[in-house]
């Protein structure tokens, strides 16, 4: 899943202050699962903005809504009337959702209420961690299913480096050295010889370094 976190309220307050009639719009997929912008957070955030405005004497109405996903045009279009009836939309979706809104409603200001953080997994309720960097060229077959691009602080392909101490990365004692994990797992799988293969220099063009990415499936597209 894509993980998100809600922006600091001070920042939200500031960006929203220019608009009287504001729609707080939740996104009921990744954002909801990250507890950043589902229906529950919409309710809370709208309440907070209303209170803040009342306290500081600012006028305006705060509307609330949530849709299944903000990254699909058909879903976004379903709330067209509501969007057109307000001055700006505070989107609680990831950056993709915010931009889809901006694309579908060219005359409306769309504000991001969340920061898109990473592609990751749920470790437990309330705890997520990064697992994938979306580099466009997966090498997990060679690294025992553990990604050094997403999980090594230096994105080393031939690790570990000298900063690996007792299985931890030198940047923080809370960060595992993924190369240590890779070695441990290969040992368990009895495939330590795989470490003898040296990775060549990585081609980063599929990772976006060749410009914005686009994906087309020829037989699907209209």
Task: Name the residues that contact other proteins, by CB under 8 A.
Answer: 8-10, 13, 28-29, 32-33, 35, 38-41, 43-44, 47-48, 50-52, 54-56, 66, 122, 124-125
Nearer to other proteins, 125 or 220 (CB): 125
Q: Smallest distance from the beta carbon of 28 to other proteins, in angstroms?
A: 5
Nearer to other proteins, 56 or 222 (CB): 56
Q: Smallest distance from the beta carbon of 85 to other proteins, in angstroms?
A: 22
Chain-centroid distance, C-alpha 80? 25
What b/e readout covers 203-221, taking b as 16+ CB neighbours within 10 angstroms?
Answer: eeeeeeeeeeeeeeeeeee
User: 134, 204 in Cβ contact below 8 A?
Assistant: no
Cα end-to-end span (Å), the chain:
27
Nearer to other proteins, 64 or 170 (CB): 64
Q: Smallest distance from the beta carbon of 95 to other proteins, in angstroms?
A: 19
Q: Which of 113, 115, 91, 114 is nearest to 101 (CA)?
A: 91
Q: Smallest distance from the beta carbon of 62 to other proteins, in angstroms?
A: 11
Nearer to other proteins, 20 or 170 (CB): 20
Q: Smallest distance from the beta carbon of 66 to other proteins, in angstroms?
A: 7
As a whole number of angstroms, the distance between CA 70 and CA 106 comes to: 15
Nearer to other proteins, 124 or 196 (CB): 124
Q: Smallest distance from the beta carbon of 21 to other proteins, in angstroms?
A: 18
Distances in whole angstroms, Cα of residue 89 to Cα of each of 73, 83, 159, 171:
16, 7, 45, 39
Nearer to other proteins, 8 or 158 (CB): 8
As a whole number of angstroms, the distance between CA 139 and CA 123 comes to: 22
Q: What would the DSSP string read from start to end of 128-176?
A: EEEEE---SS--TTTTTT--HHHHSTT--SS---TT-BTTB-TT-TTSB
Please name the residues in contact with 143: beta carbons below 8 A apart, sequence gap of 6 or more.
182
């Amino acid at each position: 899943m894509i993980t998100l976190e809600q922006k600091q309220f001070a920042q939200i307050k500031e960006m929203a202050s220019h608009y009287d009639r504001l729609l707080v719009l939740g996104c009921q997929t990744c954002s909801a699962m990250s507890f950043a912008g589902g229906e529950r957070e919409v309710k809370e955030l709208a309440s907070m903005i209303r209170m803040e405005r009342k306290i500081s004497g600012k006028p305006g109405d705060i509307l609330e809504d949530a849709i299944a996903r903000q990254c699909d045009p058909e879903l976004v279009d379903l709330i067209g009337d509501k969007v057109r009836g307000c001055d700006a939309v505070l989107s609680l979706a990831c950056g993709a959702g915010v931009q889809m809104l901006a694309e579908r409603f060219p005359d409306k200001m769309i504000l991001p209420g969340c920061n898109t953080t990473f592609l990751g997994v749920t470790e437990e309720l309330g705890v997520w961690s990064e697992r994938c960097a979306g580099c466009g060229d997966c090498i997990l077959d060679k690294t025992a299913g553990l990604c050094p691009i997403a999980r090594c602080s230096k994105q080393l392909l031939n690790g570990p480096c000298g900063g690996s101490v007792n299985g931890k990365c030198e940047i923080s004692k809370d960060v595992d050295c993924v190369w240590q994990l890779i070695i441990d797992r290969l040992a368990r799988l009895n495939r330590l010889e795989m470490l003898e293969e040296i990775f060549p220099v990585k081609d980063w063009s599929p990772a976006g370094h060749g410009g914005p990415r686009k994906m087309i499936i020829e037989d699907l597209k209209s």
